[in-house]
A and B are shown apart, each in its own frame.
Chain A
Amino acid sequence: MINVIEMVNEWSAKGVEDCMSNQHDEHESSHKPPIRKEMSRRQFLTYTLGGATAFMVGGVTLPMVRFAVDPILQKKGEGAFVKVAEISKITSEPQEFSFELQQQDGWYSSTASLTAWIRKDESGNIYALSPICKHLGCTIGWNTSKDYPDQYLCPCHGAHYTKDGKQLAVASKPLDEYKVMLKDDWVYLGEVVPNTIVK
């Protein structure tokens, strides 16, 4: 009886040894270290605390960033155009028109009083020139000197321009122009852009 038990134990031990030997061979053949799939307590705490902190910081920061950049994200609509003059009053001779434009500079809103020299060409196209001299920013006038008839003249340093705004002396660029929109018999002016009339 004792011998039988010893034989069984011996056989079992040998079986286990063979089994482990096989597993060992398999590991060696794949050349991979054993991987522990379960998460350690330290990793769990790191991920949990890190995630919670990131969530809280993001929850505070993102609305602040969105608030700060809001003016940039606002779309510019047709509100940028201002009703200035009746189309019927526009002649081939430039006329000065004053108007007010609501300006938004970031969060600062202001009303600017502006003027434009508006005329129509031989084809009936309506143009509006900015009165700001391209030399150093003084305000030009139309036909203000006998020496420069039918020209825009700057009172500061004598820059003068043709009816289309083309520079003739002192200034290096033509007068800027306003974007023009015609609607319901009225001339609407928008933002100032570089002169497109002068070629």
Chain B
Amino acid sequence: MKFSEINKDSWGELCLYLDTCLIPVTGLNGTESPYEVVRALERLRDMMDLVEIPFKGRIVTYPSFQYGKEEIAQYINEVCHNVKRAGFAYVIVISADVNLNAVQLDNADLILTPSAFSEFPEGGKQQFTHEIIQELWQRKG
């Protein structure tokens, strides 16, 4: 679920179940036209739907990194570290337009980028995402 759906009173109970944080990266650089920004956000939304809808009760979506691509990898990695310090057991970084290298984000448990989906048809993306996230939970659980 979205971070905005959780309030102070409910978090005490929900934090026992919501152990995975999803950090989206939009990948804008400021040169985009308004309609291109809309398309970029829609691409990211479509990709996030693959994760957020099936696993709504275990994954919390945090605010996105809107601007910056590979050059902000170190900062994203630092945020992943902080999120874990705050209590999340798993961190997933997701982007529709930025191919973040797994080596650069060693504090992230899973990185979902376009390259991960490139060989799958539309229906296969959902199945692949489902399997890879469950595998993550089983591997470290």
Contact = CB atoms under 8 A, between A and B. Distances in A.
A154 B55 CA distance: 9
Contacts of B17: 135-136, 156-157
Contact of A136 (B53, B54, B56): B56
B68 interface: no
16 contacts: A136-B17, A136-B18, A136-B56, A136-B57, A137-B1, A138-B54, A138-B55, A138-B56, A139-B53, A139-B54, A154-B57, A155-B54, A155-B55, A156-B17, A156-B55, A156-B57
A139 B56 CA distance: 8
Nearest to A157: B17
Interface string B69-94: 00000000000000000000000000
A133 B58 CA distance: 12
B130 interface: yes
Contacts of B56: 136-139
A139 B127 CA distance: 13
A90 to B, nearest CB: 22
B60 to A, nearest CB: 11
Contacts of A133: 57
Contacts of B58: 136, 138, 156-157
Nearest to A154: B57
A152 to B, nearest CB: 14
Which size class do B's interface residues fall under? 10 to 19
Contacts of B55: 138-139, 155-156
Nearest to A132: B56
B130 A155 contact: yes
Contacts of B118: none
Contacts, number: 33
Main secondary structure of the interface of A (DSSP, over half): loop
A156 B51 CA distance: 12
Contacts of A157: 17, 57-58
Nearest to B1: A137
B6 to A, nearest CB: 11
B128 to A, nearest CB: 14
Q: Which interface residue of A137, A138, A156 has the most chain B CB atoms within 10 A? A: A156
B134 interface: yes
Interface string A150-161: 000011110000
Contacts of A136: 14, 17-18, 56-58
A139 B57 CA distance: 9
The 8 A-B residue pairs with the shortest CB-CB distance in the complex, in nearest-first order? A136-B57, A156-B58, A139-B54, A138-B57, A137-B56, A156-B57, A137-B57, A138-B55
Nearest to B56: A137
Interface in B12-33: 14, 17-18
